[in-house]
Structure 1
Amino acid sequence: MTEKFKVPHTLILLLSMMLVAYIATWLVPQGFFETVTLENGRQAVVPNTYALAESQIRLTPMDFFVAIPRALAAAQDVIFFVFIVGGVLSIARATGTVDALIGNLLDRFGKRPYMLIFMVIFCFALASGAIGTAGEYIPFVLILVGLCKAMRLDAMTAVGIVVVGYGIGYGVSAFNPFTVMIAQQIADVPLYSGIELRLALFVPFVLIGFHHVWRYAKMVQDDPSRSYTAGLPCPLNHSGSIDYPALNTRHKLILFGLVAAIAIAIWGISQHGWYLYELGAVFIVWGIATAILGKLSPDLAANKFVEGVQDLATTAILIGIARGIALIMEDGQILHSLVHGMSMPLSHLGAEAASVGMFVMQSFLNLFIPSGSGQAYVTMPLMAPVGDIIGVNRQIAVLAYQFGDGFSNMIIPTNAVLMGIIGMAGVPYHLWFKFCFPLILKLSLAAAIVLVAAVVFDYGADVQPLKASAIELSTDTTDIA
């Protein structure tokens, strides 16, 4: 009798994807676009300059295995940030603050979990759309896991709340400085232009995400055996009912410190360009303050911090390996070739189909260029002139880019933040895919409808630059990359 197929461990899935990328470097033509250095120091590709590489690189099996530790090193900022957050939250749990917060929220929303789910998704989406937050939500994962479990939900619901919130926030952002603003700048349309449509899309898309999460949560609440994570260990290392402590003044001071830390982090990101190193430092300070306020001895605080770090060892490895897929493709000189190959067919489509094709292309390329700003610098210099020729306004090309980047962030395994979140919650990737893929289909259908309507109603025509004032374009569509 044939044994039932068993989905491999997430680490095996990622290593398999690295192997596929490695094999592709032998099969896909190697080539590059020329690049120019912009005023901000970033490199952007130049349209119509794709050429095959003069010298072909053949990666050896040793190169493949060396890429694994290189990938871990390349992802070190995310890895160590996750370690710091895990260790600091372990200290907070030792003070009883996390359990007290969960108990307080249960009193308020225990009989109205739908309200809590909507509020958190809405707030996360709003923050992501406004200032590009994503990794900053990692500290909330374990808190939401504990809260969902107390409401007879599961870890998948907690992950859904976090990831759906920030993914939709990125996808329909009105003025995310790391995606929309960069893409508009490259496409040579005024910053903040077209904001009316993006603001109008925010609530409908958030409702799509909320409905998906709540429908699943209601199913689990009605029948816990239908949970996708039934039988998996709880990352909080406890089970059964808990006697939640009252939220006292000491706990409130610790929570105020968390809010202050996040506020400082947001200020640093927006005003001084902070990233994960600085954010890690802020959370370390909060962890020290938490230990003092919680009256933990130095040895106990240190032990709890180390325990929190140890619990995330698997998560750290997954984050690093996820980075290796793009690293292999960069080493093998095929990343630009994929962009070139995928952009060429768009020049032969009608405007409506091409706008949807841009969205599909951006979604696929996000697997290999998981950085939102990095994807903008590689793809927007190509999509803007392609759109000029086939009748897709540049504002629509920007919209297709942000749909593709934002929504696919919720499911691609090369997204380090996603792997960090599901790792902290103890949710295997294949189960997350099972949960998230239907939502991606719903969002993609809605995005396609919006893009076609945008073409029909000539969205962005008022800010469309004259071709003569933009980059000189080839009139031969077969040359467009």
Structure 2
Amino acid sequence: MKKIKFPTAQTILLLIAAFVAVLTFIVPAGKYDTLSYDKSQNIFTKTTPKENYSLAATQRTLDSLQIKIPLEKFTNGDIWKPISIPNTYQKLEAKPQGILAFIKSPIKGIIEAADIIFLVLFIGGLIGIMNHTGAFDAGIAWLSVVLKGREYWLIISVTFLIAIGGTTFGLAEETIAFYPILIPIFLAAQYDALVPLASIYIGSSVGTMCSTTNPFSSIIASDAAGINWTAGFNFRLIMLLCCTIICLIYILRYAKRVKKDVKASIIYEQKSEIESLFGNTTNVTVKLNNQLRFILVIFILCFIVMIYGVSQLDWWFVEMTSVFLVGSIFIGIIANIKELTFVDLFVKGASDLLSVALIIGIARGVTVLMEDGLISDTMLYYTSNFTNGMNKGLFTNAMLFVYAGLSFFIPSSSGMAVLTMPIMAPLADGVGLDREVVVNTYQYGMGLFAFINPTGLILASLAIVKVGFDKWLKFVTPLLIILTLFTMLMLTFLVYM
């Protein structure tokens, strides 16, 4: 009997899109009114399903709408997205998304996700140029000699540094750039491709899950909840340290098994395929000369500049993509690559990541179906009612799973914060808890589900490494169970201490 293969990432997402389209026929359509701030005119705009209103940008306006957020959170730019207005949910005429909407959804998703798609393609172009220069091979050969016997430091340093990026400024989509660079290095250290995948993706996930100063998560959620972002900071810092250590121990134990016995790898049958894809790292003969060192310095500077720009200069995808384009051109000049060859290499490198770009677009298309079908706010309305009358411990843990479930439909952390916090945060008042508890459950619920959320970044990350979703689930499920139980224990301790 022929073995049934697990479907590809694209097929999984299309099946999810079909499921969401069916939901729009079943789940009632509904919408909360929203409030946004117009800085140019210094007014609020209240948006309802029927019309828009201009309101005075005053604290009295916010109080009248039962929005317990200081006015300065809007005027100084802390809250820049429309927020949901409490107690304004109303059912609307159903907008079921039929076959035509389902067919259009990947196209709409690709258009909406054009910014990150272009970033991925330009990173692919840069990788194509780098591969041609031989700088990667030479650098990997040098690093494998330097780290011989101490390869585990690769896992510790990469996971820890990316977790720091996740907790401070929300390093997530940007990590897609790291896979083609780091995977050959880990393979040269005799690990399988799951180890660098875990170090990068889990590092980012645990960092954003335990956000401390992340403006797209902890800060915007605290602002939307009407509290100072420093509330609960110490608890989040403890969670960051504990969860990162748990993840590191888990990855290191798996890596040690694989290094000791290559057949212990979950993806052992793909060993030859992955090595051919990222280069055979066991027979590298390129010498690291001064020209190649200079090329590697320019390459590394691209990432340093990108991280600095995102964290300090409010850069986003256009600026990040520009950095990789300029870096590619500089490297092409240093390596004396002819113009026609440069263009061919860049286009081929970009085409190698085209499947990743399509996955990102299809995933965004799922969100488009939910928004067009008007079911996202309905999910929020019913889940907020679900927690009524619960005691402290049950409420806190229920909110953890509520946010995990909602993140399937709203995978954006900032989008989740502004849509849900004005609705969810007041629920804490009713059970005698500080609102920071809801901010925490929002972060941990979204963060935990991000480990396996097919509408998030995991499928795009797996596509780069050519690892199936089923293999990832086999690898990460025990860790996810451990982290979930630990988080529930810590949250229970927090509300009763």
TM-score by length of 1: 0.90
Work out whether 1:129 is the aligned partner of 2:167.
yes
Name 2:49's counterpart in structure 1: none
Name 1:147's counterpart in structure 2: 185
Cα drift, residue 26 of structure 1: 0.4
The DSSP-based 3-state class of the residue aligned with 1:36 is: strand
Q: CA RMSD in A?
A: 1.8
Q: Deviations over 1:53-86 (max 9, x none)?
A: 1x22132211111112111212211211111101
Name 1:474's counterpart in structure 2: none
TM-aligned CA distance change 1:193 to 1:254, over 3 Å: farther
Q: 1:385 aligns with which of 426, 441, 447?
A: 426
Name 1:269's counterpart in structure 2: 310
Name 1:47's counterpart in structure 2: 86
Is the deviation greater in 168-177 or in 233-242? Answer: 233-242
Name 1:364's counterpart in structure 2: 405
TM-aligned CA distance change 1:139 to 1:104, over 3 Å: farther
Work out whether 1:433 is the aligned partner of 2:432.
no
Q: Deviations over 1:415-474 (max 9, x none)?
A: 1x43332222222222222222222221111111111111012xxxxxxxxxxxxxxxxx
Name 1:29's counterpart in structure 2: 28
Work out whether 1:373 is the aligned partner of 2:414.
yes
Mapped partners of 1:323, 1:434: distance in 2:
25
Name 1:443's counterpart in structure 2: 483
The DSSP-based 3-state class of the residue aligned with 1:366 is: helix
Mapped partners of 2:123, 2:469: distance in 1:
21
Name 1:344's counterpart in structure 2: 385
Structure 2 counterparts to residues 330-341 of structure 1, below 5 A: 330-341=371-382
TM-aligned CA distance change 1:240 to 1:96, over 3 Å: closer
Mapped partners of 2:30, 2:280: distance in 1:
54
Mapped partners of 1:407, 1:258: distance in 2:
32
The DSSP-based 3-state class of the residue aligned with 2:369 is: helix
Structure 2 counterparts to residues 245-256 of structure 1, below 5 A: 245-256=286-297
The DSSP-based 3-state class of the residue aligned with 1:178 is: helix
Contact 1:9/1:428 (8 A) holds in 2: yes
TM-aligned CA distance change 1:237 to 1:199, over 3 Å: closer
TM-aligned CA distance change 1:254 to 1:136, over 3 Å: farther
The DSSP-based 3-state class of the residue aligned with 2:216 is: coil
Work out whether 1:215 is the aligned partner of 2:259.
no
Mapped partners of 1:120, 1:59: distance in 2:
43
| Structure 1 spans left out of the alignment, 5+ residues | 458-481
Q: 1:194 aligns with which of 232, 243, 247?
A: 232
Name 1:466's counterpart in structure 2: none
Aligned residue pairs: how many? 454
Greater than 4 Å deviation, 4+ residue runs: none
Is the deviation greater in 400-409 or in 255-264? Answer: 255-264
Q: Deviations over 1:192-230 (max 9, x none)?
A: 232222222222111111122122222222222232222
Mapped partners of 2:122, 2:7: distance in 1:
29
Cα drift, residue 249 of structure 1: 2.3
Mapped partners of 1:104, 1:454: distance in 2:
48
TM-score by length of 2: 0.87
Contact 1:354/1:392 (8 A) holds in 2: no
Structure 2 counterparts to residues 8-407 of structure 1, below 5 A: 8-38=7-37, 39=74, 40=77, 41-53=80-92, 55-232=93-270, 233-234=273-274, 236-239=277-280, 241-407=282-448
Contact 1:45/1:378 (8 A) holds in 2: yes
Contact 1:168/1:205 (8 A) holds in 2: yes
Mapped partners of 1:150, 1:34: distance in 2:
55
Mapped partners of 1:260, 1:313: distance in 2:
25
The amino acid that maps onto 2:15 is S
Cα drift, residue 188 of structure 1: 1.4
Name 2:464's counterpart in structure 1: 424
Contact 1:142/1:236 (8 A) holds in 2: no
Cα drift, residue 398 of structure 1: 0.8
TM-aligned CA distance change 1:171 to 1:244, over 3 Å: farther
TM-aligned CA distance change 1:115 to 1:336, over 3 Å: same
Cα drift, residue 140 of structure 1: 1.8
Contact 1:102/1:143 (8 A) holds in 2: no
Mapped partners of 1:64, 1:35: distance in 2:
27
Cα drift, residue 244 of structure 1: 4.3
Is the deviation greater in 296-305 or in 168-177? Answer: 296-305
Contact 2:32/2:90 (8 A) holds in 1: yes
Contact 1:100/1:244 (8 A) holds in 2: yes
Mapped partners of 2:177, 2:96: distance in 1:
42
Mapped partners of 2:291, 2:359: distance in 1:
36
Cα drift, residue 3 of structure 1: 4.5
TM-aligned CA distance change 1:279 to 1:399, over 3 Å: same
Mapped partners of 1:279, 1:401: distance in 2:
28
Name 2:68's counterpart in structure 1: none
The DSSP-based 3-state class of the residue aligned with 1:367 is: helix
Cα drift, residue 300 of structure 1: 2.3
Contact 2:32/2:84 (8 A) holds in 1: yes
Contact 1:124/1:166 (8 A) holds in 2: yes
Cα drift, residue 336 of structure 1: 0.7
Name 2:55's counterpart in structure 1: none
Contact 1:187/1:384 (8 A) holds in 2: yes
Q: Deviations over 1:353-389 (max 9, x none)?
A: 1111111111121111111100101111122111110
Contact 2:407/2:416 (8 A) holds in 1: yes
The amino acid that maps onto 1:59 is Q
Name 2:61's counterpart in structure 1: none
Mapped partners of 2:430, 2:454: distance in 1:
34
Name 1:472's counterpart in structure 2: none
The DSSP-based 3-state class of the residue aligned with 2:387 is: helix
